[in-house]
Amino acid sequence: MGIIVNAQAGSIINNYDIHDNEVVNVGINGEVHETSEIRKEDAPRELPYELSTPKAMGYWKKLRDGGWVDEHWQRTNQMSLSAAGFTVHCFAQVLNLDGGWSMFEDFWECNNLRQEYDDIKYKLPKKCERLKLLFGL
């Protein structure tokens, strides 16, 4: 049996038990998953090319450090849909993206981010003001 420890946090991230050539993955909260049970949807998604440039990654790091996204660049509870729509707008501004709405909707598995942004663009919530500063806009 082997244990992989996250050196930063000191927490167990996976436990592999090899018995009769079978690998069993144990998640951080103790759930046991056979390799065949791990769904593709549960695997971290890859960032689209336009959102993984060095410049873009600088903004992703700021979002992660601020608690807006997790280590896989997925929205946290702190980022409402309206804040997500505003984030897409900010990325489009700083990276010169043409829209980007569907790219983010696919990546974050949500809909209508353009509408969410349109609903708040003239009266930004305080959360979005903080995002605006984060992106330097």
pLDDT tens digits, one per residue of 102-137: 888 888 888 888 998 888 888 888 888 888 888 888
CA distance 127 to 111: 20
Number of domains in the chain: 2
Q: Do 27 and 90 fall within a single domain?
A: no
Q: Do 77 and 25 fall within a single domain?
A: no
Residue-range definition of the domain harbouring residue 13: 2-42
- 94 Cβ partners below 8 Å, 6+ apart? 55, 59, 135, 136, 137
* 29-80: pLDDT as tens digits: 556 555 444 444 555 677 888 888 999 999 999 999 999 999 888 998 888 8
- 23 Cβ partners below 8 Å, 6+ apart? 16, 17, 34, 35
Q: Do 14 and 75 fall within a single domain?
A: no
- The residue among 28 and 111 whose pLDDT is bigger is 111
Q: Do 36 and 54 fall within a single domain?
A: no
pLDDT the model gives residue 78: 86
Q: Do 101 and 123 fall within a single domain?
A: yes
What pTM does this model have? 0.65
Q: Do 15 and 74 fall within a single domain?
A: no
From the DSSP assignment, how many helices (H) and strands (E) are in the chain?
A: 5, 4
Q: Do 6 and 63 fall within a single domain?
A: no
CA distance 21 to 18: 6
| Contact present, 75 and 68 (Cβ < 8 Å) | yes
Q: Do 32 and 53 fall within a single domain?
A: no
Q: Do 96 and 121 fall within a single domain?
A: yes
Q: Do 67 and 100 fall within a single domain?
A: yes
Q: Do 63 and 124 fall within a single domain?
A: yes
Exposed, middle or buried by CB within 10 Å (0-12, 13-18, 19+), for 91? buried
Q: Do 35 and 55 fall within a single domain?
A: no
